[in-house]
Structure 1
Amino acid sequence: MSATESTVHDPGTLPDPSTLPDRDPQPPAPYDAVLLVSFGGPEGQDDVLPFLRNVTRGRGIPDERLEEVAHHYRAFGGVSPINAQNRELQAALRAELDARGMDLPVLWGNRNWDPFLTDALREAHAAGHRRLLAVVTSAYSSYSGCRQYREDLAAALEETGLAGEVTIDKVRNYFDHPGFVTPFVEGVRDALLRTRAALPGIDLVRESHVLFVTHSIPTSTAVTSGPPDARLGPEGAYSAQHRAVADVVMASVGGVSDVGTGSAAAQLASVPWSLVYQSRSGAPSTPWLEPDINDAITELAGQGVKAVVIVPIGFVSDHMEVMWDLDEEALTTAREAGLHGERVPTPGVHPAFVTGLVDLVGERVARADGTAGTATGAVSRPALSPLGPWYDVCRPGCCANPRGPRPAVAGLAP
C-alpha cells in the first residue's frame, strides 16, 4: 500500500470478536474517588527543560538534544496547553458526576509535571480515599499510552508508601466508545463541509483526502501492543484500533445532521482516507510506524488532491504535539503544496466525551445496591467497532515494556 492509498474497511482484516480472549466486565466495586491521569506539561519557560528531562528520564539524552524539542514549547511561551485542558476536564467530570448523583471527587495527577501522581495519591490518602478508579487521557492500547501509566501508578504507590493502603484500577481503553468517537464524526463532517464551501465545485471523493493521524511509535513496540493472545495484525492492537475507529468515523459522517441528503451525504462518507503518523523521534536506524503525515501530504499533492482534512484521532486534547506538529508543520506542508487544509478538533471537553468518560466510570462503580453506577444499575459497555468493548483489566503481558517487566496496577500479572 502506498503512503496515501485509500483505506477501505475489509471485515476480514479485523478479528472476529468471538475469537478474542474473555472480556467479561468486572463487577461494580465501591470506588471512593476518580483519579484523572495525564502526561503533564510545562507552564513557563523555566519549566521546559526540567519537564523534558522528566519525559526522557533514564535515556541519557543530553540537554542540547532536548533543546531541539524545547523550541516547540518556547514558541508558545514555554506553556503547554495540556494542564489547562486537564483542569477544564477535571471540572467537567466533577460537574457531570454531580449531575448524576455520583458522590465521587475527581483528583488529578501527571506522569511528568506538577501535579505529579505522587502528589495526587497523597492528597487522596489524606482525604480518606482508599480505592481509586483511574481515567487516563489516552484511548488506545500501547506501552506509552496504557501500560506505562499503569507502571507509573504502581511506582507512585511504592514511592508514597501507600501500596498496601490504596488500590488503583483503571477504566477500559475507550478508543471506540461513542463518547470518544462522536466528536471526531462531527469534526470530520464540519471540516468536509468547510472544504466544499472553500473550494466550490470540488469533487470531494476524487479531490480530497482525510488523514487520520496519531503518534508514531517504534514498530517493535507496535507489534507487542495489546495482549499476546490477541495480536491484531502485523502492527498490533495500536494500529488496528486506530484503523477500526477511522472506519467507524467515515461510515458515520454521512449520517450526521446538516450534511444534506442523498448523494451529498453519501459523498462525505465516500471520501478516501488513510492512517498516518506524526512526532517520530529516536535514532533514524530504529523503524517507526509510517507514513509520516508530511510525506503523505506531499504525495497526495502529486496525485491531484486539492484538499486534506487532518484528524488527530490519537489524541484527546489539543496539546503541544497537536498544535506544533499538525497546526504548524502539517498545515504548512499542505499550504506549500498548494492544498486546502482543515484540522479537526480533538474531543477536549466536548459534552459527548465528558459524558462518555463518566459512563465508563459508571460501568465500574457500585451504587448503594451493589449494581453499576448508572441510571438503571445495568452494566452497558458500548463500543462502535468490532474490536470493543476492550478489557476492563489488562491481560497478562499486554503492551509489554520493551525494557523488561515492571510492576503495574490494573492488570493481570505478569
Structure 2
Amino acid sequence: MKKPELLAPAGNIEKLKTAVNFGADAVYLGGSRLNLRAFADNFTDEQLKDGVEYAHCRNRRVYVTVNVFPHNEDFEGLPDYLKKLQEMKVDALIVSDPGIIMTAREIIPGMELHLSTQANNVNWKSAQFWYQQGIKRIVAARELSFDDIQVMKSNLPEDCEIEAFVHGSMCMSYSGRCVISNYMTGRDANRGACAQPCRYKYYLMEEKRPGEYFPVFEDDKGAYILNSKDLCMIEHIPELMNSGIDSFKIEGRMKSSYYVAAVVKSYRQAIDTYFSDPKNYVFQQKWLDNLMKVSHRVYSTGFYFGKPDAQIYETSSYIRDYDIVGIVKEYDRKSRVAAIEQRNKVYDGDKVEILSTRGDNFYIYLNDMKNDSGQKINSAPRAQMIFTIKSDNDLEPEDMLIKAKGKNK
C-alpha cells in the first residue's frame, strides 16, 4: 500500500515551518500573484525562496497556487512570474484555468501541474482530458463520494494522482465557484477576494411588506441559510486509505499556526498508526480531541458518504475553546529552563497543554516565570515577548503551549 501524502496549508512562512515541523509531507501556499487567498499574508518572492529551502532541506514539497479565474489583464507578467517560480524550485503549481495551463506548458514545460478543485472535476472522463493536457494530479471536487473517487481512480493512468480535501472549511457553492461576494460587495471570490457573505445572518422579507422580516424558523434569531459545516474525516482513516486518494489535503491558509499544528499532528498520527498495522488499526480519541480544541464550526463528513447534512442554520460563529499562549524557542536540558515566545496573555502558575512536535500532548505548569532580563514576573502580557519558565518535562523548539479560554491556574 502506498502511503498517502499529508498536504497542509501555509498562509505565511511561520505556518509553513509549523506544518513541516508537525509532520506535513508537503505544503501549498500563495505566491505574490494569482492565488485565491488575496487576504492571506501570502509570500513575497524572498519568503517563498526561504520557504522552499526550509521544506526541501527536510525532504518536503512545496506547491504554489496559481488558481484564480484570470481576466485578460491577469496574463500580463504571467510568463515572468512562472519562470521565477521555476527558478525557486517549487515542486508543482496548482492551476485551474486552461489559459494559465497553456502558458505554463509553453514557458516552463518541465513544471509539475496539479488541477485545482476550482476546476470542478467530478468525473473520470474529464480527469482523463486534463491528464492529456499535462496535468499530473487531479484535486477532486469536494462534491464527490468515495464511490465517485474510486471510479475516477480506476479509469486513470497509474501516474495520475488524486488529491482530496479531508479537513477544513467547506463552501456552500459548487467547489468554490461563487458570485455572491461579487454581487453584494464587489469583491471577486474567484480572484481571491471573497467577503464570505455566505456566513451572514439572513431574514426573509415579502416584496409587498417592506420592513417586515420573517425568520426562516419559528423564532426571531434569523437563519444562516448558506453557512456550511466544516469537513472532518479523522474518524474515517481506513476508508480514506482504501479510496485511491494519493494526497490528503487540509484546508486553511487563512487559519492560525495553532490550527495548522493541531490538525497536521492529528492526521499525521492517524495515518502513521494505520500504515504501521492496518489490520489492527483502532481510532484514538486524542486525535479528535486536538481537532475539537482548534477554532472550527460543527464537523461533517461532507459528500464522502453521499448527500451531506452540511449546513448550520443557527449561527456562523466558530467554536473557539482554546488559545495558543506561547511557542517554545529554546530549552536547556541541564538547567531545565525554556524560553517561550508569548502569543496570548498567560500567568505564572497556569496549567498549560503542550502540543508537541514529537509524541503525545502533555501538561505542565508555568513555574518560575521570568522576563528576558531575568526578573520574576506574574504574567506575560505583551505580544511576542520572550519569557522563561522551569520545566522538568523535556520541551522541543516549536512546541506550542495551549490553554482553555478563561481558565487560569
Which category describes the TM-score, using the shorter chain as reference length? under 0.3
- With normalisation by structure 2, the TM-score equals 0.26
Task: Write 1 or 2 for the structure with the bigger share of strand.
Answer: 2
Rg larger for: 2
| Larger RCO (CA under 8 A, 6+ residues apart) | 1
- With normalisation by structure 1, the TM-score equals 0.26
